[in-house]
Amino acid sequence: MSSLNQDIQTVAGLKETHGSAWDAINPESAARMRAQNKFKTGLDIAQYTADVMRADMAAFDADKTKYTQSLGCWHGFIGQQKMISIKKH
């Protein structure tokens, strides 16, 4: 049996256990969401993003000539435009 089918059965069993409070849950939809999720917890997401950030910082520290400040300038420009918009209204 595939992992998806096992998850569908597991969610269906949980749905029966919890009664009418879980009526709105579709076991197949919940199983598909679980199959598509790369991370199980918020801590896993934080660890992954921290690893990506550390790798990016190491690459930047190794050779700063490959990076620009344009993204920071863009955010500053957007922030300035937002403040102008707020002052108008």
Domain range for residue 11?
1-37
Among the residue ranges 7-16, 47-56, 66-75, the one predicted with the least confidence is 66-75
Let me know whether 55 and 33 are in one domain: no
Let me know whether 49 and 88 are in one domain: yes
Residue 84 or 43, more confident: 43
Per-residue pLDDT, 30: 94
d(Cα 56, Cα 58) in Å, to the nearest integer? 5
Let me know whether 46 and 21 are in one domain: no
Let me know whether 28 and 50 are in one domain: no
Among the residue ranges 51-55, 61-65, 75-79, 81-85, the one predicted with the least confidence is 75-79
Residue 23 or 76, more confident: 23
> Is the confidence at residue 71, as pLDDT, over 60?
no
| 25 neighbors 13 (Cβ within 8 angstroms) | no
Compute how many other C-beta atoms are within 10 angstroms of the C-beta atom of residue 14.
13
